[in-house]
Amino acid sequence: MKKITVVIVGMGFGKEFIPIYQKLPNIKAVGICTRNPETLKELKEKFNLDDDLLFTDFNEVIKRDDVDAIHVVTPVPEHAKMTLASLNANKHTACTIPMAMTVADCQAIVEAKKRVNKVYMMMETALYTREFLYGLKLADTGKLGKIQFVRGSHIQDMSMEGWAEYWKGYPPMLNGTHAISPLLRINNTIAESVVCHGSGQLSDDLAKRYNSPFAVETATFKLKDSNVVAEATRSLFDVVRQYRESYDVYGDKMSFEWEQLQDEQHVIFDGGENAVRMEAPDTDDLLIPEIADFTKRERIDDPNHVSFLQGAGHGGSHPHLVQEFVAAIVEGRDSAVDAVLAANYTCAGICAHKSAMKGGIRVEIPSFD
């Protein structure tokens, strides 16, 4: 059995992945990297980590020949730099969303991945929530019938204490993958072009940070080989609403709508005026037994982390992400969210923001194939 040593970089919600990796049969050892020595010491004791795999400097991680894979869970501005460094050091690489902040960096990662022939995976939680996997099964089994329209949203108040300074004024669609990727995946396609409009006005202090004035950005995407239009809306500041990270899908046989309020339950429409509230079932049956229980909310290590105070524990997605990343390495194949696909999902949002800033012109999304 092939055994892998993985190092997780970034111990915000990154620490949630430590026990999941430790349970996988194909994992030889798990290391961590964080700039805070006290956090390093605390997590070493909590998870019984090997002294030789504790790092405070990312540059030391990529030098190690015995490290097979790196999982990046750091602030957004560091994603492209760390991903490229990891790939160029010949490491299998996973990274939380988004892939990068520019089209050029996405292209560079695609090229690096092809050059070194290692696994890359964008760890998009929205594609592995119990709610999305439920809808995807409805689509794949034909229960939805012909999909006619999809809509996604990611509405969040990032003025809440605990978010890093760089988030202040962050343009909504510049990191739009949570709202966009489920819409593309459920149609089994990619985005070709986008028209996006900005709405409202941020406070002057927020607007000047990225020279981006909009409180809300709403985009419509033309999909490849499809007559379906996808609509996505995102806001981060100066909008009052409970956290919502949602998708809706409308078919000619059945439709699914995300709950309006947290814990209110979702809605299935199955004909005429019929509407039934429901909870998406757990997804533990899709996982190997060793990590199946990590879909449960009670397995979140730090429920007070800001990522979980807003976000409902990422919908039980973490073990699915780990299982897919490691399986791709062991089986010698591309991951389910490989570099080419991740670049499209990420650049769909980047190009949407560009469209909004240019008054809603249509912007073509680069091809990375």
pLDDT tens digits for 90-133? 999 999 999 999 999 999 999 999 999 999 999 999 999 999 99
Please say if the pLDDT value at position 261 is more than 80. yes
Please say if the pLDDT value at position 56 is more than 70. yes
Query: Residue 307's pLDDT is what?
Result: 47
Q: Calculate the alpha carbon distances from 277 to 102, 130, 261, 270, 358 in Å.
A: 40, 16, 12, 11, 41
Helices and strands in the chain, H and E counts = 11, 15
Query: Residue 313's pLDDT is what?
Result: 64
Please say if the pLDDT value at position 311 is more than 50. no
pLDDT tens digits for 179-224? 999 999 999 999 999 999 999 999 999 999 999 999 999 999 999 9
Q: Which residues pair with 198 in a beta bridge?
A: 217
Please say if the pLDDT value at position 302 is more than 80. no
Of 66-70, 159-163, 191-195, 347-351, the poorest mean pLDDT is in 159-163
Q: Which residues contact 201 (CB under 8 A, 6 or more apart)?
A: 207, 213, 214, 215, 238
b/e burial code for range 61-97 (CB count within 10 A of at least 16 → b): bbebeebbbbbbbbebebbbebbbbbbebebbbbbbb
Number of neighbours of residue 208 by Cβ within 10 angstroms: 12
pLDDT, average across residues 276-281: 96
pLDDT tens digits for 77-88? 999 999 999 999
Query: Residue 50's pLDDT is what?
Result: 95
Q: Which residues pair with 268 in a beta bridge?
A: 256, 276
Please say if the pLDDT value at position 61 is more than 60. yes
- Contact criterion met (CB below 8 Å) for 12 and 35: no
DSSP assignment of 39-55 equals HHHHHHHHHT--GGGEE
Identify which of 60, 128, 120, 179 has the alpha carbon closest to the alpha carbon of residue 328: 120
For residues 4 and 21, give the distance between their C-alpha atoms in angstroms, rounded to a whole number.
10
pLDDT tens digits for 12-53? 989 999 999 999 999 999 999 999 999 999 999 999 999 999
For residues 9 and 31, give the distance between their C-alpha atoms in angstroms, rounded to a whole number.
9
pTM: 0.95
